[in-house]
């Protein structure tokens, strides 16, 4: 990825953290942040001795920890990157190191495709003060004793999102049971609000734990599906209710599914560099689409039309509206 020097000016002035756990619904965001860490935290000269990259499928947790516990050579810090971490066996055994990391090591973990330990892993880490900033489902924000919205980027939709939908083989008024996606807290909260406040339906809600639940979407059983699996499900199901479109039709506002959130005020110089890193990803969408062929959906359309990333005033208003709705006391009707 080509980056202008001025885009990252001042990065050396930012206090780099010892652990970055990158987890979320949009893989390209993770790829861009990993690329940024791999190419910009260390100078080319330092990287020759102090950059170690593991791939989850081939990595052993002991090797990762041993690499993290080494001291840097001829530099202030070393960088250890674990890519495709979701393919690593016994990844939970990294937790003791993550709890007490070496200050001279920057560990970057890229965990894609599925969530670790439920849908609120990052929110829990923020709450327990184990990390400083994370891409957090908006519905998980009320769990945090203190929170700060970081920067000017998010994962949002101005209307139709395409990848967060309720799928069924029956009309909405005939749905008796809904299987809930196991990966998205915000999507579940939005679905519950739509059912309660506007759709006027009250089917049984069933939590799921893996992707096999999609096979049960038939008859009077519907399913909330998100991400790549939702794009696949669009080719299968008869009825599709797009949650982004429904929210926009009701409120007139965009919907923010996830935002960058910290549990403490962060240095303005860090936030500026962080925004620059996010902006770089948006400049390379064409390259990302080319590098990730996908037959089931037009990814260029998805990344540029369905998803929206700049956390402007209207998105902030939509986010505040949603937080107000899901934290308000329930009123019997």
Q: What is the pLDDT of residues 260-282, one digit of tens each?
A: 998 889 889 889 988 988 888 78
Looking at residue 13, its pLDDT comes to 39
188-203 per-position pLDDT tens digit: 999 999 999 899 999 9
List the chain domain ranges: 1-113, 133-327
Query: Looking at residues 74-98, what average pLDDT do you find?
Result: 90
pLDDT of res. 7:
32
Determine the pLDDT at residue 5.
32
Q: Is residue 107 within 8 Å of 80, Cβ to Cβ?
A: yes
The yes-or-no verdict on residue 256 having pLDDT over 90 is yes
Top-confidence residue, 49 or 211: 49
Please give the backbone phi and psi of residue 100, each rounded to the nearest 5 degrees, phi first: -135, 70
Which residues lie closer than 8 Å to 28 by C-beta, 6 or more apart?
281, 285, 288, 292, 303
What is the tens place of the pLDDT at every residue in 33-69?
888 888 888 888 898 899 999 999 889 999 999 999 9
* CATH architecture of the domain with residue range 1-113: 3-Layer(aba) Sandwich (3.40)
Are 137 and 257 spatial neighbours (Cβ–Cβ below 8 Å)?
yes
- What pLDDT is recorded for position 32? 73
> Three-state SS for 262?
strand
Distance CA 42, CA 64 (A): 19
Q: Over the stretch 127-169, which tens digit does the pLDDT of each residue have?
A: 666 667 888 889 888 888 889 999 999 999 999 999 999 999 9
Spatial distance between the Cα atoms of 319 and 136, rounded to a whole number of angstroms: 12
Choose which CATH entry (3.40.190.10, 3.40.1030.10, 3.40.50.720, 3.20.19.10) describes domain 133-327: 3.40.190.10
Separation CA 64–CA 53 (nearest Å):
9
Looking at every residue in the chain, the average pLDDT score rounds to: 85
- pLDDT tens figures, 165-185: 999 999 999 999 999 988 777
Confidence of residue 327 (pLDDT cuts 50, 70, 90): confident
What single-letter DSSP state applies at residue 265? -
Collapsing DSSP to helix, strand or coil, 102 comes out as coil
What is the residue-wise DSSP string for 183-251? Answer: S-HHHHHHHHHHIIIII----EEEE-SSGGGGGG-BTTEEEEEEHHHHHHHTTT-SEEEEHHHHHHHHH
What string of DSSP letters covers 30-75?
HHHHHHHHHHHSS-HHHHHHHEEEEETTT--HHHHHHHHTSPPSSS
Q: How far is it, in rounded angstroms, from Cα 284 to Cα 49?
A: 29
Give yes or no for a contact between 120 and 185, defined as CB atoms under 8 angstroms apart. Answer: yes
Encode 151-166 in three state secondary structure. EEEEEEECCCCCCEEE
**pLDDT, position 125:** 66
Alpha-carbon 174 to chain mean position: 33
Residue 24, pLDDT score: 62
Compute the C-alpha angle 195/254/274, nearest 5°: 125
Helix (H) or strand (E) holding 108: strand 105-111
The CA distance from 319 to 135, in Å, is 14
pLDDT of residue 328: 78
Helix (H) or strand (E) holding 275: helix 268-282
Element (H, E) at 290: helix 285-291
């Amino acid at each position: 990825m080509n980056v202008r020097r001025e885009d990252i000016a001042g990065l050396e002035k930012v206090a780099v953290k010892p652990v970055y756990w990158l987890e979320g619904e949009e893989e390209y965001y993770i790829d861009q942040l990993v690329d940024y860490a791999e190419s910009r935290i260390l100078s080319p000269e330092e990287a020759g001795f102090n950059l170690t990259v593991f791939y989850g499928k081939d990595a052993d947790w002991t090797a990762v920890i041993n690499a993290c516990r080494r001291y840097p050579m001829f530099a202030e810090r070393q960088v250890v990157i674990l890519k495709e971490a979701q393919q690593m066996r016994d990844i939970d055994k990294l937790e003791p190191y993550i709890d007490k990391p070496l200050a001279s090591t920057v560990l970057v973990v890229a965990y894609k495709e599925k969530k670790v330990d439920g849908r609120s892993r990052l929110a829990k880490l923020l709450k327990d003060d184990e990390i400083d900033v994370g891409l957090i489902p908006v519905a998980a924000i009320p769990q945090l004793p203190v929170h700060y919205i970081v920067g000017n980027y998010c994962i949002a939709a101005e209307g139709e999102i395409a990848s967060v939908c309720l799928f069924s083989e029956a009309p909405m008024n005939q749905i008796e049971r809904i299987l809930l996606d196991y990966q998205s807290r915000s999507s579940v909260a939005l679905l519950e609000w739509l059912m309660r406040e506007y759709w006027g339906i009250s089917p049984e809600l069933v939590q799921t734990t893996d992707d096999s639940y999609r096979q049960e979407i038939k008859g009077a059983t519907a399913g909330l599906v998100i991400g790549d699996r939702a794009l696949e499900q669009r080719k299968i199901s008869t009825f599709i209710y797009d949650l982004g479109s429904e929210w926009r039709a009701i409120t007139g506002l965009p919907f923010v599914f996830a935002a960058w959130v910290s549990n403490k005020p962060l240095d303005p110089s860090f936030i500026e560099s962080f925004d620059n890193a996010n902006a770089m990803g948006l400049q390379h969408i064409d390259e990302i689409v080319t590098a990730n062929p996908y037959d089931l959906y037009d990814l260029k359309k998805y990344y540029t039309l369905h998803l929206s990333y700049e956390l402007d005033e209207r998105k902030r208003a939509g986010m505040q509206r949603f937080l107000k709705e899901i934290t308000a006391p329930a009123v019997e009707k």
